[in-house]
Structure 1
């Protein structure tokens, strides 16, 4: 009897009082960009050392089957914030920097849910979900922005580091813009007399393009898209990590007396990889490895701040990545030449852009000091489930969505996670159920030639048992016809 009362008391302390009031933690989601499972040393697959990310993994739950919904950035970020499958939204694909906001402002989003529970909300870092309604004037207040989907504070880049505009946007306004030098952006055509990487290759003083990045040049680096003006507002790539970090720390500091949610969307190791000089050469793997170590240091500084403010015990931290890794993604930066024995893809097939496992199986860690016990989980979890799971934690109800309440799995209290999941890569779908994954036939080259990654295309059905064949080497479609039929029917049911 004494043990039962003790257990009830502990449960009450961690998750609420007798009247059902839930103890609410601060919530931080750290979402990296193109980071592979093998890039985090806690997974024991690669040769990089990431001690600060490892701190979260070794003192929290490290998931072996953690997924993004998509093998590219925009759709996976859409799912993370909305709890909806991105393939249901035709706009949820890799966006240009001047694309309109693709999240319907009437939707129930993760930050909106948390605001219902009196959280202060912020996004710092990469956005890439569109801004405005299709006609952005960068020189005025930008409507249809993070503030319209639930964020009280935002300090973001519009799209990616390799796309224009190369400016920061704070609370709907471009930072540092001067009225006498307005900013103009186009993805259709260049502005008169503006240089590009093709017309003025001598401007590429820091990095040269391999494929696709040959338009406007800024900070010695060629980008995608055309840009003119706004000189005082343009970022310096080397300082980006420090600026995002400081904005994140400032938000935490200012929110220490209230509940907060921070979506901390770091840009590493997406191209162009331009770490601060103090990190250059630290990995021995060139800019990609150096950028990952820079991001790891950033995670450590975040943890240090929480310790300093005595907030670590009341903060739930999720660490993950928007999709899997890629080496050469458009620049000559020695990512392929200097990778050495390091294995960003771990033992998985494919990578970014791919329906194979390395496209969507990503680093996935949850940490909450005193609540989450250290461990390793084989439960299938997905970023799609954050909204439903955190709503359950806070005792809130939600309209129907695609996310599931997987709170017990995320907190390490259950070994059971999702049974099934639909994943997406550049508009193509694959279906997971328990240990199996089914990839329908798709036309086209089986390899994304520019990045040398298998994309999952094949003229025939593909069926793999991931428990026995994590590298997806043995196609079981012909030898397991009943299982194949089952997977097809389940996939059709979910699609329709």
Structure 2
């Protein structure tokens, strides 16, 4: 058969048009497909631990670039300044005290996050997402409470904090060997954690690679910079501060590796990345604790240093790059925000957070009351926009004469009692130095009213209030 010149021309034209149509369809699919979601949750990281938030003795170029590529909150909170409670709140969009999750669960706990609760993973899985978790779980180590029973297709990591092992400086031999899980099986026990951040990162990259053909949700919960601090050889001695700075630089490297993998797979334009931490720094560990950026107190308190965290949200083409948001928001807002973005159905049980998508898109929203709970259901503070009311309670602080070290051995906290409510204008006084109650009687009345509404709903051990909206944790007898 003779092929004419005009036939060749027609054939080439057909191929070109087919390619253009195919590329156009691919671009349309890319624009309309559900976004991938990566939530990176650090442990015990301070508000001032990133370069973009003020750190100077170590470098965090990848996290600083993440902030430059998206929106950065200056007033982003966790509702509980302690491990398990903070994680329950993040994953369910609900105050952990409502769910009867308090403190930090250890190897003796026979309870965990109730499987009847809906996690972000369960919400998104029902909407067609692949779901994976890497890192620290800390919501119950019994098989019934592990991540694979809470909506995650896969899990690799530790069931609780990395200091819950036989080498704990204050509780030697109380804890068993530290177990490393894959799904529901213990695959190793750790006596050295120097490769933990690296191994976590490799597992996160594998999940992204294996899930690239469908929408995915990755919950990447670092075990560090919670003590004990360990770092791989590639970052040992890299910071001018010491071990803590080295660890922060390795976490920053990990974030960079995740972004690099997303770009390599051409997924970066349609992936939401959220970065924050579970609570402020564990100040009693001195040089092995992070920075509050000048905020008052740290982990284990409801002062700003304990509950205010970096909050970075990136979604190219949707969230404005380089935007700084001064309005208050909290980790309980992440679940409802992702629900609105993806179209997934909200949980049937009450969720305490709200979608902050308008804020992330550069629009205004009305202020919302946020509560800070600690211990066993103590309402210690309420935040409403620029205002914060702190209620009488006992809290821990570093003694004035304490000699902080850099050897991993903590000093003993001193307990202090706040005897009267104190009102702070965080827009002018983020360090909570000056009570402005007398000059703002109307604001004070409003704050007390908001607190009373919270107490009626969730109770308050400080005022012996019983809430009507409490739910139960899961328990194995």
Provide TM-score, normalisation by structure 1: 0.77
Q: Aligned partners of 1:488, 1:482: CA distance in 2, in Å?
A: 10
Partner in structure 1 of residue 224 of structure 2:
268
Answering whether residue 274 of structure 2 is matched by residue 325 of structure 1, we say no
Deviation, structure 1 residue 289: 1.2
Q: Compared with structure 1, are the counterparts of its residues 258 and 494 closer, same or farther at alpha carbon in structure 2 (3 Å cutoff)?
A: same
Aligned partners of 1:355 and 1:456 also within 8 Å: no
Provide TM-score, normalisation by structure 2: 0.80
| Match among 420, 428, 433 for residue 369 of structure 2 | 420
What SS does structure 2 have at the residue aligned with 1:37?
A: coil
Instruction: Give CA-to-partner distance per residue, 1:274-331, whole Å, 9 cap, x none.
Output: 11122111112221111111100111111111111111001000011111122444xx
Q: Compared with structure 1, are the counterparts of its residues 262 and 353 closer, same or farther at alpha carbon in structure 2 (3 Å cutoff)?
A: same
| Match among 291, 309, 319 for residue 372 of structure 1 | 319
| Match among 233, 236, 239 for residue 188 of structure 2 | 233
Q: Aligned partners of 1:117, 1:36: CA distance in 2, in Å?
A: 34
Q: Compared with structure 1, are the counterparts of its residues 456 and 53 closer, same or farther at alpha carbon in structure 2 (3 Å cutoff)?
A: farther
Instruction: Give CA-to-partner distance per residue, 1:373-414, whole Å, 9 cap, x none.
Output: 2111112121101111111112233233111111222x3332
What SS does structure 1 have at the residue aligned with 2:84?
A: helix
**Structure 1 residues 308-317 or 47-56, which shifts more?**
47-56
Q: Aligned partners of 1:453, 1:60: CA distance in 2, in Å?
A: 38
Instruction: Give CA-to-partner distance per residue, 1:197-244, whole Å, 9 cap, x none.
Output: 6xxxxxxxxxx83xx2x323xxxxxxx524499998222301111111
Deviation, structure 1 residue 446: 5.6
Answering whether residue 16 of structure 2 is matched by residue 63 of structure 1, we say no
What SS does structure 1 have at the residue aligned with 2:392?
A: coil
Deviation, structure 1 residue 125: 0.3
| Match among 72, 80, 94 for residue 104 of structure 2 | 94
Q: Aligned partners of 2:179, 2:415: CA distance in 1, in Å?
A: 38
The unaligned stretches of length 5 or more in structure 2 are 1-26, 181-185, 403-409, 457-477
| Match among 335, 341, 345 for residue 288 of structure 2 | 335
Deviation, structure 1 residue 456: 7.7
Partner in structure 2 of residue 440 of structure 1:
391
Partner in structure 1 of residue 353 of structure 2:
403
Instruction: Give CA-to-partner distance per residue, 1:453-479, whole Å, 9 cap, x none.
Output: 798840111111101111111012344
Aligned residues: CA RMSD? 2.7
| Match among 356, 365, 375 for residue 303 of structure 2 | 356
Instruction: Give CA-to-partner distance per residue, 1:141-166, whole Å, 9 cap, x none.
Output: x33321111111111201011013xx
Q: Aligned partners of 1:291, 1:227: CA distance in 2, in Å?
A: 23
Partner in structure 1 of residue 464 of structure 2:
none
Q: Aligned partners of 2:74, 2:443: CA distance in 1, in Å?
A: 24
Aligned partners of 2:423 and 2:435 also within 8 Å: yes
Partner in structure 1 of residue 244 of structure 2:
288
What SS does structure 1 have at the residue aligned with 2:326?
A: strand
**Structure 1 residues 246-261: aligned runs within 5 Å:** 246-261=202-217
| Match among 124, 138, 156 for residue 134 of structure 2 | 124
Aligned partners of 2:124 and 2:217 also within 8 Å: yes
